[in-house]
Amino acid sequence: MAITLTVMYPNTPDSKFDMDYYLGSHTELVGKLWGGNLTSARVVKGIGTPDPDTPAPYQVMAILEVESMDVLHQMIEEHGAEVMGDIPNFTDTEPVIQISENLG
Protein backbone atom coordinates (compact mmCIF):
# COMPACT_ATOMS: atom_id res chain seq x y z
CA MET A 1 0.00 0.00 0.00
CA ALA A 2 1.37 3.40 -0.98
CA ILE A 3 1.97 5.97 1.75
CA THR A 4 2.00 9.77 1.54
CA LEU A 5 4.07 11.90 3.90
CA THR A 6 2.78 15.47 3.96
CA VAL A 7 4.90 18.15 5.63
CA MET A 8 2.93 21.36 6.11
CA TYR A 9 4.44 24.67 7.20
CA PRO A 10 1.88 26.84 9.03
CA ASN A 11 1.20 30.33 7.74
CA THR A 12 1.41 32.20 11.02
CA PRO A 13 1.65 35.98 11.45
CA ASP A 14 5.24 37.23 11.35
CA SER A 15 6.68 33.80 10.52
CA LYS A 16 9.70 33.63 8.27
CA PHE A 17 10.02 31.28 5.32
CA ASP A 18 13.01 31.50 2.97
CA MET A 19 11.52 30.07 -0.23
CA ASP A 20 14.82 30.31 -2.15
CA TYR A 21 16.62 28.21 0.47
CA TYR A 22 13.72 25.77 0.68
CA LEU A 23 13.41 25.24 -3.08
CA GLY A 24 17.17 25.12 -3.58
CA SER A 25 19.05 23.68 -0.64
CA HIS A 26 16.36 21.87 1.36
CA THR A 27 14.66 20.11 -1.54
CA GLU A 28 18.11 19.17 -2.87
CA LEU A 29 18.97 17.64 0.53
CA VAL A 30 15.71 15.68 0.60
CA GLY A 31 16.31 14.49 -2.94
CA LYS A 32 19.87 13.40 -2.12
CA LEU A 33 18.91 11.52 1.04
CA TRP A 34 15.44 10.21 0.23
CA GLY A 35 15.06 10.55 -3.55
CA GLY A 36 15.82 6.92 -4.33
CA ASN A 37 12.90 5.82 -2.15
CA LEU A 38 10.31 8.33 -3.36
CA THR A 39 7.74 7.29 -5.95
CA SER A 40 6.67 10.93 -6.28
CA ALA A 41 7.34 14.30 -4.70
CA ARG A 42 5.91 17.75 -5.10
CA VAL A 43 5.84 21.07 -3.32
CA VAL A 44 2.77 23.31 -3.28
CA LYS A 45 2.49 26.89 -2.04
CA GLY A 46 -0.62 28.01 -0.17
CA ILE A 47 -2.20 31.04 -1.81
CA GLY A 48 -5.62 31.36 -0.17
CA THR A 49 -8.89 29.82 0.97
CA PRO A 50 -12.44 29.98 -0.38
CA ASP A 51 -12.89 33.07 1.81
CA PRO A 52 -10.82 35.83 0.19
CA ASP A 53 -10.29 37.45 3.60
CA THR A 54 -8.76 34.31 5.12
CA PRO A 55 -5.14 33.50 4.25
CA ALA A 56 -4.01 29.98 3.43
CA PRO A 57 -3.44 27.99 6.64
CA TYR A 58 -0.12 26.65 5.31
CA GLN A 59 2.67 28.52 3.51
CA VAL A 60 4.06 25.43 1.83
CA MET A 61 3.28 21.72 1.75
CA ALA A 62 5.68 19.00 0.67
CA ILE A 63 3.87 15.88 -0.52
CA LEU A 64 6.12 12.82 -0.67
CA GLU A 65 4.95 9.37 -1.69
CA VAL A 66 6.65 6.06 -0.90
CA GLU A 67 5.64 2.47 -1.54
CA SER A 68 5.12 1.37 2.08
CA MET A 69 5.32 2.24 5.77
CA ASP A 70 8.44 0.08 5.99
CA VAL A 71 10.17 2.26 3.40
CA LEU A 72 9.05 5.43 5.17
CA HIS A 73 10.28 4.19 8.55
CA GLN A 74 13.64 3.26 7.01
CA MET A 75 13.97 6.73 5.44
CA ILE A 76 13.15 8.45 8.72
CA GLU A 77 15.48 6.22 10.71
CA GLU A 78 18.41 6.72 8.35
CA HIS A 79 18.11 10.43 7.52
CA GLY A 80 15.14 11.94 9.36
CA ALA A 81 17.30 13.85 11.86
CA GLU A 82 19.34 15.44 9.07
CA VAL A 83 16.26 16.46 7.07
CA MET A 84 14.42 17.81 10.13
CA GLY A 85 17.59 19.50 11.38
CA ASP A 86 17.70 21.62 8.23
CA ILE A 87 14.26 23.16 8.84
CA PRO A 88 15.51 26.07 11.03
CA ASN A 89 17.62 27.18 8.06
CA PHE A 90 14.50 28.28 6.15
CA THR A 91 11.65 28.76 8.63
CA ASP A 92 10.88 29.52 12.23
CA THR A 93 7.61 27.57 12.19
CA GLU A 94 7.15 24.01 13.42
CA PRO A 95 5.91 21.82 10.56
CA VAL A 96 2.76 19.76 10.85
CA ILE A 97 3.49 16.26 9.58
CA GLN A 98 0.89 13.76 8.51
CA ILE A 99 1.29 10.21 7.26
CA SER A 100 -1.56 8.97 5.09
CA GLU A 101 -2.53 5.75 3.38
CA ASN A 102 -3.32 6.19 -0.30
CA LEU A 103 -6.78 4.78 -1.02
CA GLY A 104 -7.18 5.58 -4.67
Every domain of the chain and the residues it spans: 3-59+79-101
**Over 90: is that where the pLDDT of 104 sits?**
no
Q: Which CATH number among 3.40.980.10, 2.60.40.10, 3.40.50.1240, 3.30.70.100 corresponds to the domain 3-59+79-101?
A: 3.30.70.100
Q: How far apart are CA 82 and CA 76, in angstroms?
A: 9
**3-state class (DSSP) for residue 37:** helix
Distance CA 40, CA 35 (A): 9
Q: What is the pTM of this model?
A: 0.94
> How many whole angstroms separate alpha carbon 94 and alpha carbon 34?
21
pLDDT tens string 26-70: 999 999 999 999 999 999 999 999 999 999 999 999 999 999 999
